[in-house]
Amino acid sequence: TPGRDDGAVVAERKTARIRPPRMYQVVLLNDDYTPMEFVVMVLQEYFKRDLETATHIMLKIHHEGRGVCGVYTKDVAATKVELVLAAARRSGHPLQCIMEAA
Ligand code: TYC
């Protein structure tokens, strides 16, 4: 900036430049047909949950209708939704997966 001291400009930017990205939760929905084991596999494979946590999340979805699998930046969440839907389609299961602003 003309007529300004460089040090002052750098100090100004330090307070404004870093902002956390908007986060999105990836949610699995319950249905009557997708096998429990398939949902547990999805939670392990695509959301990096251990067997115990994956089983707990699956049962929560089974009983409450939906459950949060993880919270990610927009692009990562969108990719996970597509990968899960593709895996479900490949296996012939009606499993639904959505993302929503956290
Ligand atoms: N309700 C399914 C069953 O009884 C299991 C299930 C759990 C399906 C979670 C989808 O997101 C889901 N086989």
Tell which one of 36, 57, 58, 59 to mutate to probe ligand 1, the residue whose CB is within 8 A of the most ligand atoms. 36
Distance from residue 62's CA to the centre of ligand 1 (Å): 5
**With pLDDT > 70 as the criterion, what percentage of the chain qualifies?**
87
Q: Is the pLDDT at 5 greater than 80, yes or no?
A: no
From residue 47, how far is each of 2, 3, 69, 86 by CA, in Å? 50, 52, 7, 15
Place of tokens 């300004």: 4
Question: Greater confidence, 15 or 69?
Answer: 69
Q: What are phi and psi of 17, to 5 degrees?
A: -80, -40
- What pTM, to 2 d.p., does this model score? 0.86
- What phi-psi label fits residue 40: left (phi over 0), alpha (psi between -120 and 50 degrees) or beta? alpha
Distance from residue 83's CA to the centre of ligand 1 (Å): 18
Q: Whose CA is nearest to atom 4 of ligand 1?
A: 32
Classify 100 as helix, strand or coil. Answer: strand
Q: What are phi and psi of 68, to 5 degrees?
A: -80, 125
